[in-house]
């Protein structure tokens, strides 16, 4: 295998508005049909008082930002994330990743910051990733 070493300080971001269709699609994929995501009457009885998006739906933005940051052939090795505030249908999220450190094997320690349209931190943490391609592989 050949390795491509990422650079400390490099950043990448992606953004997306969380749509009703996203909630339905994510529920089908994750098998999470919790009524707190779909039933306004049910959700109104919770401590948040209204429907919320799946936490991992917001966190899924990390995957797209990771590919932008690390390039094709990246592998997500681990994650440690905290859900700091709820994400609601209609929220616009921006996910920013920044490479904090790279070890001698090329494993990058990457900070995660996902904020909503009010600049409130909704998800934060770290991920580890490395990029590799088989020897002689075309990087496109």
pTM of the model: 0.90
Question: Tens digits of per-residue pLDDT, 91-134?
Answer: 999 999 999 999 998 899 999 999 999 999 999 999 999 987 65
Domains recognised in the chain with CATH numbers: 10-18+53-131 (3.10.129.10)
Rounded Cα–Cα distance for residues 47 and 32 (Å): 20
Residue 5 in contact with residue 73, Cβ under 8 Å? no
Instruction: Decide if 95 contacts 13 (C-beta within 8 A).
Output: yes
Task: Report in angstroms the alpha-carbon separations of 31 from 27, 28, 34, 56.
Answer: 5, 5, 9, 12
Share of the chain above pLDDT 70, in %: 91
Pairing of strands 2-3, 11-17: unpaired
């Amino acid at each position: 295998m050949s390795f491509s070493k990422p650079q400390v300080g490099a950043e990448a971001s992606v953004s997306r508005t969380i749509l009703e269709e996203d909630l339905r699609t994510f529920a089908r994929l994750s098998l999470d049909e919790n009524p707190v995501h779909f039933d306004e009457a049910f959700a109104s009885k919770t401590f948040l008082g209204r429907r919320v998006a799946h936490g991992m739906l917001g966190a899924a933005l990390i995957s797209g930002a990771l590919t932008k940051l690390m390039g094709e052939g990246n592998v997500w090795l681990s994650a440690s994330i905290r859900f700091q505030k709820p994400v609601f249908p209609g929220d616009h999220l921006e996910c920013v990743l920044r490479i904090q450190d790279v070890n001698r094997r090329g494993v990058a320690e990457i900070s995660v910051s996902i904020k909503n349209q009010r600049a409130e931190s909704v998800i934060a943490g770290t991920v580890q990733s490395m990029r590799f391609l088989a020897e002689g592989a075309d990087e496109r």
